[in-house]
Amino acid sequence: MTSQAWKEFPPPLSDEQLEILVANIKDWQLTHGSLLKLVSSDEDSTVLAQPVGACLFPTLFPRQLFEQALDLQKTYDKLYARVAEDEEWLYSTLKGLIETYDLARVLWGIHQEVEREGYVQDVVLGIFRSDYMLDANTESVSTSEEILLKQVEFNTISCAGGVHSNLVADMHRRLQRSGAYLPSDPNLETINISSSSLPPSHTLSTLTTGLVAAHNLYGPPKSPNANQTCILFIVQPRNFNIADERPIEYALWDQDIPAYRVIFAEEVLAHTSLSPGRELLYHPPSRAGPMEVSVVYFRAAFEADEFDDNGRKARLLLERSRAIKCPSILSHLTTFKKVQQALALPGGLRRFLTEDEAVRIASTFAPIYPMDESEIGMAARKLALSSISSKSYILKPSLEGGGHNIYGEDIPRFLSRTPKNKWSNYILMEKITSPAIHNLSMSPRGFYRGPVVSELGIFGICLWKRDENTEGRVEITQDLNPCWSFKTKSASVNEMSVVKGYGCFDSPALVDQSIFSACCLGTVKAVEHSGRRSL
Amino acid sequence: MTSQAWKEFPPPLSDEQLEILVANIKDWQLTHGSLLKLVSSDEDSTVLAQPVGACLFPTLFPRQLFEQALDLQKTYDKLYARVAEDEEWLYSTLKGLIETYDLARVLWGIHQEVEREGYVQDVVLGIFRSDYMLDANTESVSTSEEILLKQVEFNTISCAGGVHSNLVADMHRRLQRSGAYLPSDPNLETINISSSSLPPSHTLSTLTTGLVAAHNLYGPPKSPNANQTCILFIVQPRNFNIADERPIEYALWDQDIPAYRVIFAEEVLAHTSLSPGRELLYHPPSRAGPMEVSVVYFRAAFEADEFDDNGRKARLLLERSRAIKCPSILSHLTTFKKVQQALALPGGLRRFLTEDEAVRIASTFAPIYPMDESEIGMAARKLALSSISSKSYILKPSLEGGGHNIYGEDIPRFLSRTPKNKWSNYILMEKITSPAIHNLSMSPRGFYRGPVVSELGIFGICLWKRDENTEGRVEITQDLNPCWSFKTKSASVNEMSVVKGYGCFDSPALVDQSIFSACCLGTVKAVEHSGRRSL
Half-sphere exposure of B405 (CA within 13 A, CB side): 23
pLDDT of residue A398: 82
Burial A73-110 (b: 16+ CB within 10 A, else e): bbbbbbbbbbbbbbbebbeebbebbbeebebbebbbeb
CA distances from A215 to A209, A293, A315, A343, A436 (A): 10, 9, 20, 32, 43
B31 to A33: CB separation less than 8 angstroms, yes or no: yes
Alpha-carbon distance B162 to nearest alpha carbon in chain A (angstroms): 15
Q: How many helices (H) and strands (E) does chain B have?
A: 16, 22
Alpha-carbon distance A46 to nearest alpha carbon in chain B (angstroms): 5
Alpha-carbon distance B48 to nearest alpha carbon in chain A (angstroms): 5
B247 in contact with A at a CB cutoff of 8 Å?
yes
Alpha-carbon distance B206 to nearest alpha carbon in chain A (angstroms): 19
Contacts of B45 in chain A (CB under 8 A): 22, 442-447
B38 in contact with A at a CB cutoff of 8 Å?
yes
Contacts of A26 in chain B (CB under 8 A): 42, 46-47
Q: For B502-512, what is each residue's pLDDT tens digit? A: 789 999 999 99
Q: For B428-485, what is each residue's pLDDT tens digit? A: 999 888 899 999 999 998 999 999 999 999 999 999 999 877 766 899 999 999 999 9
**Residues A462 and A207 sit within 8 Å (Cβ to Cβ):** no
Residue A241 — pLDDT band, cuts 50, 70, 90? very high
| CA–CA separation, A329 and A90 (whole Å) | 12
| CA–CA separation, A184 and B508 (whole Å) | 49
Query: How far does CA B136 lie from the centroid of its chain?
Result: 22
B33 to A37: CB separation less than 8 angstroms, yes or no: no
Show the low-confidence residues of chain B (pLDDT under 50).
Answer: 1-7, 522-535
A44 vs B253, B286, B447: nearest CB: B447
Beta strands of B304-371 (E only): which ranges? Answer: 324-326, 368-370
Average pLDDT over residues A164-192: 87
| CA–CA separation, B158 and B163 (whole Å) | 13
The annotated binding site of A for ATP is made up of: 337, 396-405, 407, 429-432, 455, 489, 495
Q: What is the average pLDDT value for chain B, to the nearest integer?
A: 90
Alpha-carbon distance B87 to nearest alpha carbon in chain A (angstroms): 40
Question: SS3 for A82-123, per residue?
Answer: HHHHCHHHHHHHHHHHHHHCHHHHHHHHHHHHHHHHCCCCCE
**Chain B CA closest to residue A242:** B27
pLDDT of residue B523: 32
A284 vs B174, B179, B286: nearest CB: B179
**Residues B362 and B355 sit within 8 Å (Cβ to Cβ):** no
Strand partners, A63: none
B447 to A285: CB separation less than 8 angstroms, yes or no: no
Average pLDDT over residues A163-175: 97
Structural domains in chain A plus CATH codes: 2-359+432-527 (no CATH), 367-430 (3.30.1490.50)
The annotated binding site of A for Mg(2+) is made up of: 400
Q: Which of A235-239, A398-402, B405-409 has the highest mean pLDDT?
A: A235-239
The annotated binding site of B for ATP is made up of: 337, 396-405, 407, 429-432, 455, 489, 495
Q: Name the percent of chain B in helix, strand, coil, to the closest 5.
A: 40, 25, 35
| CA–CA separation, A476 and A210 (whole Å) | 13
pLDDT tops 60 at residue A73: yes
What's the whole-model pTM score?
0.92
B31 vs A27, A51, A243: nearest CB: A243
Alpha-carbon distance B132 to nearest alpha carbon in chain A (angstroms): 28
* Interface test with chain B among A19, A27, A248, by most B beta carbons within 10 Å: A27
Average pLDDT over residues A184-199: 82
Does residue A531 or residue B405 have the better pLDDT? Answer: B405
Helix axes A246-254, A203-218, angle to 10 degrees: 60
B50 to A48: CB separation less than 8 angstroms, yes or no: yes
Average pLDDT over residues A343-348: 93
Nearest to A477 by CA among A491, A467, A487, A492: A467
pLDDT of residue A473: 85
pLDDT of residue A221: 98
pLDDT of residue B521: 54
Contacts of B177 in chain A (CB under 8 A): 253
**Residues A45 and B442 sit within 8 Å (Cβ to Cβ):** yes
**Residues B162 and B204 sit within 8 Å (Cβ to Cβ):** yes
| CA–CA separation, A491 and B22 (whole Å) | 41
pLDDT tops 50 at residue A21: yes
**Chain A CA closest to residue B188:** A288
Sequential DSSP letters for B115-139 = HHH--S--EEEEEEEEEEEEE--SS
Contacts of B27 in chain A (CB under 8 A): 37, 242, 246
A50 vs B48, B184, B289: nearest CB: B48
B25 in contact with A at a CB cutoff of 8 Å?
no
Alpha-carbon distance A258 to nearest alpha carbon in chain B (angstroms): 7
Does residue A46 or residue A185 have the better pLDDT? Answer: A46
How many Cβ pairs closer than 8 A exist between chain A and B?
157
| CA–CA separation, A167 and A41 (whole Å) | 24
Burial of B468 (0-12, 13-18, 19+ CB in 10 A): exposed
pLDDT of residue B2: 40
Contacts of A51 in chain B (CB under 8 A): 46-47
**Chain A CA closest to residue B180:** A286
Strands A229-235 and A259-263, bridge-based pairing: parallel
Nearest to B465 by CA among B114, B295, B217, B113: B217
| CA–CA separation, A478 and A326 (whole Å) | 14
Residue A401 — pLDDT band, cuts 50, 70, 90? low
Strands A291-299 and A324-326, bridge-based pairing: parallel
Greatest Cα pair distance, chain A, in angstroms, is 74
Question: Residue A172: CB partners within 8 Å, gap ≥ 6?
Answer: A55, A57, A58, A198, A506, A507
Q: Determine if the peptide bond prior to A10 is cis (ω within 30°).
A: yes
A446 vs B21, B45, B178: nearest CB: B45
Residue ranges of A 257-276 with Cβ closer than 8 A to chain B: 258, 260
A48 vs B48, B247, B447: nearest CB: B48
Half-sphere exposure of A430 (CA within 13 A, CB side): 14
Question: Residue A225: CB partners within 8 Å, gap ≥ 6?
Answer: A275, A281, A289, A290
| CA–CA separation, B489 and B505 (whole Å) | 9
Look at A28-42, A151-165, A309-323, A483-497 and tell me which has the smallest mean pLDDT.
A483-497
The torsion defined by the Cα of A112, A114, A117 and A118, in degrees rounded to 10, comes to: -100
Strands B508-511 and B59-62, bridge-based pairing: parallel
B35 vs A30, A182, A246: nearest CB: A30
Residue ranges of B 403-442 with Cβ closer than 8 A to chain A: 442
pLDDT tops 70 at residue A526: no
Strand partners, B441: B55, B448
**Residues B507 and B456 sit within 8 Å (Cβ to Cβ):** no
Query: Within 10 Å of residue B475's Cβ, how many Cβ atoms?
Result: 12
Contacts of A285 in chain B (CB under 8 A): 14, 16-17, 20, 184
A31 in contact with B at a CB cutoff of 8 Å?
yes
pLDDT of residue B401: 55
**Residues A49 and B50 sit within 8 Å (Cβ to Cβ):** yes
B212 in contact with A at a CB cutoff of 8 Å?
no
Question: Residue B451: CB partners within 8 Å, gap ≥ 6?
Answer: B436, B437, B438, B490, B491, B492, B523, B524, B527, B528, B530
**Residues B149 and B134 sit within 8 Å (Cβ to Cβ):** yes
